Structure 1
Amino acid sequence: MTKRAYKERFYPTPEQAALLAQSFGCARFVWNNTLAYRTEAYQLLGESVSHSAAERRLVGLKAEFSWLKEVSSVILQQTLRDQKAAFDNFNNPKLKARYPRFKRKNGRQSIRLTKAAFRYRDGEITIAKTTAPLPIRWSRPLPSAPSSITISKDRAGRYFISCLCAFDPETLPVTSKTVGIDLGLADLFITSDGVKLGNPRHLKRYEAKLAYLQRRLAKKQKGSNNRNKQRQKVAKLHAKIVDCRRDALHKATRALVNENQVLCIESLSIIGMIKNRSLAKAISDAGWGEFVRQLEYKAAWAGRQLVRVSQWFPSSKLCHGCGHKVEKLPLSQRHWRCGSCGNPIDRDINAANNIRTAGLAGLACGATGAGTAV
């Protein structure tokens, strides 16, 4: 058994929307107040505030600000646990996480509830402090009763509920097909079979409209209703771009996992690559990080193997036919001829074939660790 989050959209009643707005505000206040206290304690006294100390301090906050008692206490406790996780990630050098930031009223809002703060019965979820179930637009039945739920509201004003459920992943039938995948910008990815999936460039498609809406937003008076309405328009367009990108990536990764038993991909340092100002927007628009993340968990659920090849492996400079390596190969040169065997070479397909060969070799040797090849 493993756990999976099922995310659905719902449309709260005015009473539920008011309670959720109050819950978001209380959770945001506890987060910001505790974060300021932790930061000040470290800067002035050099002390780190533990999670247990933050929980004890929450009792005093609820006594000082009585309106915190109007929402479920589970929401506030989970907020502190989320902040503890944020600091744990920040203190872990391998994750390279940023220092926790303050939450804004106009940003994305979210709260988490455990079983003590909600009831799941007959396919309906009712949260604490309410009597009517949430009007959720279910797209599929849940495999089990959720152990926790996360309710969120994005900047476009849409409400979502994410239910964490236990489920048995369905292992796909074993196939003999293997594939190497080379990520790109002109094409989202290129496989060793010669398949090239064109890059949809979702941001570029709506870039002119987005710039127009942002120019109008910049001219609105701060704090006015017109500015808030314009901000909603900008947020809705951003949400549309994100939804289009995520949908395209889900379809592409699902097809790759369904068709191949072993998937070999290059382990790129995306954080370092987006520091290049010339390519940062294009790389972010392509969604390489999300693409690899989806491949990873979908392959694990389906019983497939995802093999990562070192980013320092010269996949583009090696001739896949004879192994000859060229000394220089500028990024603008998409086709070249091997100086040893004379074969014409497509740079991207050649790289995908080399990634597949290196990945399968590392997988067969098993000396470089599971799922990694050099």
Structure 2
Amino acid sequence: MQLRYNVRLYPSPPQRQALARAFGCARTVYNDGLRARQQARAHGLPYVSDADLSKQVITAAKTTPERAWLGEVSAVVLQQALADLNTAFRNFFASVSGRRKGPKIAAPRFRSKRDSRQAIRFTKNACFSITAGGRLRLPKIGDVDVRWSRDLPSEPSSVTVVKDASGRYFASFVVQTSDEPLPETASEVGIDLGLAHFAVLSDGRKIDNPRFLRRAERRLKKAQQALSRKAKGSANRKKAVVKVARAHAKVADARRDFAHKLSTQIIRENQAVYVEDLCVKGLARTRLAKSVHDAGWGRFTAMLAYKAARYGRALVKIDRWFPSSKKCGACGVVAESMPLDVRTWTCACGAVHNRDVNAAINILAAGRAERLNAYGGSVRPAA
């Protein structure tokens, strides 16, 4: 399994200048390649192949006075920027033709130096390495200080250097990891995700919703108001922009940390995890959009998926149309309607249900049935 390990970088001022130069060169090559293909299409010419595009926007461009400064950065950075463009075009064509499942992918767009995220990628061809002192050695940039939070499980195949909106630098290593199955346990759990509580488990436990964005709204509002009062183009406005970005970064970091800790705990404690396959994108179009985004259900379920695969656990997603809240966990009768303001209800059989706990119990039962339905058996039984 391939995983990404992110660590914080602390480049020196000269190294920041070299990274900014590399960001700009990679962005220029990407935009030149996109422009060349758009112009070829506008003039009715054939699609420019990957090899011809590389010769045009990198090899030939370096010999011109307008693009001679492309030689100041590693050639691998430029090639990887062009590889990203080629991947974007292939994904777009596959989405348009229907070969790629899922939501439609838009055509590649031009990159801007004002984008909140700038990134360059180094592969093994670039000869990046980790020195004996724990620094990250990058070609034509130097040895960059790294804050190691954990050791890499194997030698990385590539590293992506990222600068976020708040001015922080990160190194994202791609490493190959082996599965680490945990000791088997008989415990299984169903999870009902919500807003009143982030998660309600089938054993009755309720995980409070931390509401990181709601708690930070006052601080964010002050930072945004200070930004609105700064003159456009001034140095103080640039400082205020960074201050707003740092406030949002703190919220995102806290949400990510919460999702990591909770998903790891659930995977370690249970052999099988059952969760509802929510349409987060659809819920984000409702009046609850801010609360839905603040909860971060999509990131949490994605973490459950890859951790279950790595540690030998089972993760089963239940159909989103399954009436988990309206179905009685005792007799199985489905209520005709169940408004959101109804948190406790009584079934005709006399059972009194907490809406969220009952939904988690139903998700657990449905997940077990789905998992055991011809699980490991033959399609046609023997005569």
TM tier, shorter chain? over 0.9
The separation in 2 between residues aligned to 1:366 and 1:227, in whole angstroms, is 62
- What is residue 365 of structure 1 aligned with on the other side? 373
Tell me how far 1:138 sits from its aligned partner.
Answer: 1.1
Counterpart AA for 2:36: Y
Q: How far 1:182 moved relative to its partner?
A: 0.9
Offset at residue 44 of structure 1 (A) = 5.3
Aligned partners of 1:41, 1:78: CA distance in 2, in Å? 22
**Does residue 210 in structure 1 map to residue 212 in structure 2?**
no
* Cα distance per residue 1:263-298 (max 9 Å; x no partner): 01111111122111x111110010011011100001
One-letter amino acid of the counterpart of residue 161, structure 2: I
Equivalence map 1:1-374=2 (5 Å) = 2-43=1-42, 45=44, 48-58=47-57, 59-64=59-64, 65-91=67-93, 92=95, 93-96=100-103, 97-106=105-114, 107-117=116-126, 118-122=128-132, 123-130=134-141, 132-276=142-286, 278-339=287-348, 341-366=349-374
SS of structure 2 residue aligned to 1:307: strand
The letter for the 1-side match of 2:292 is I
| Distance of 2:350 and 2:219 partners within structure 1 | 48
Rounded to whole Å, the distance in 1 between the matches of 2:221 and 2:241 is 13
- Shift in alpha-carbon separation, 1:313–1:234, aligned structure 2, 3 A: same
> Cα gap change, 1:352/1:10 in structure 2, threshold over 3 Å: closer, same or farther?
same
C-alpha distance in structure 1 between counterparts of 2:196 and 2:219, whole Å:
22
- RMSD over equivalenced CA pairs, Å: 1.9
Give 5+ residue unaligned stretches, structure 1: 370-374
For structure 2, the 5+ residue unaligned runs are 378-383
1:182·1:348 contact (CA, 8 Å) conserved in 2?
A: yes
Q: 1:269 to 1:44 in 2, by over 3 A?
A: farther
- Paired with 1:88 and 1:367, the residues of 2 have a C-alpha distance of 36
Aligned-partner residue type, residue 257 of structure 2: D
Letter in 2 for 1:109: Q
Structure 1 pair 67–179 and aligned structure 2 pair: CA distance change class (3 A): same
Q: What is the Cα deviation at residue 40 of structure 1?
A: 4.2
Would you say the 8 A contact 1:362–1:368 is kept in 2?
no
Q: Per-residue CA shift, 1:39-70, capped at 9, x if unaligned? A: 44445538544433322322233333001110
Deviation at 1:215, TM superposition (A): 2.1
Measured in 2, the distance between the counterparts of 1:312 and 1:48 equals 44
Q: TM-score, normalised by structure 1?
A: 0.92
> 2:380 aligns to what?
none
> 2: distance between equivalents of 1:127 and 1:328?
61
8 Å contact kept, 1:217–1:231: yes
Paired letter, 2:225: R
Q: CA deviation at 1:128?
A: 0.6
Of the structure 1 ranges 263-272 and 228-237, higher mean CA displacement relative to structure 2 is found in: 263-272
- 1: CA distance, partners of 2:376 / 2:291: 32
Q: In structure 2, how many angstroms separate the alpha carbons of the residues matched to 1:137 and 1:361?
A: 46
Task: Check conservation: 1:120, 1:145, Cα contact below 8 A.
Answer: no
Pick which of 36-45 and 316-325 moved more: 36-45
Distance in 1 (CA, whole Å) between partners of 2:174 and 2:85 is: 20
Q: Kindly provide the amino acid, as one letter, of the partner of residue 95 in structure 1.
A: G
CA distance in 1, matches of 2:245, 2:302: 25
Quick one: distance in 2 between partners of 1:154 and 1:368?
Answer: 46
Q: Is residue 146–residue 164 contact of structure 1 (8 Å, CA) maintained in 2?
A: yes
Q: CA deviation at 1:331?
A: 1.3
The alpha carbon displacement at 1:133 in A equals 1.9
The Cα of 1:37 is off from its aligned counterpart by 3.1
Q: What SS does structure 2 have at the residue aligned with 1:45? A: coil
CA contact (8 A) 1:4 1:167 kept: yes
Aligned counterpart, 1:372: none
CA distance in 2, matches of 1:368, 1:229: 60
Check conservation: 1:89, 1:95, Cα contact below 8 A: no
The Cα offsets for residues 71-106 of structure 1, whole Å up to 9 and x where unpaired, read as 001001111111222233333342323333332323
Q: Give CA-to-partner distance per residue, 1:225-269, whole Å, 9 cap, x none.
A: 011000010000010010010011111101100000100111111
Following superposition, the deviation at residue 335 of structure 1 comes to 1.1
Q: Tell me: CA distance 1:346–1:88, structure 2 relative to 1, closer, same or farther (3 Å).
A: farther
Q: 1:195 to 1:51 in 2, by over 3 A?
A: farther
Query: Cα distance, 1:38 vs. partner?
Result: 3.0
* CA distances 1:18-37 after superposition (whole Å, capped 9, x unpaired): 11110011111122232233
Letter in 2 for 1:237: A
| CA deviation vs aligned residue, 1:288-310 (integer Å, no higher than 9, x gap) | 11011100001100000100111
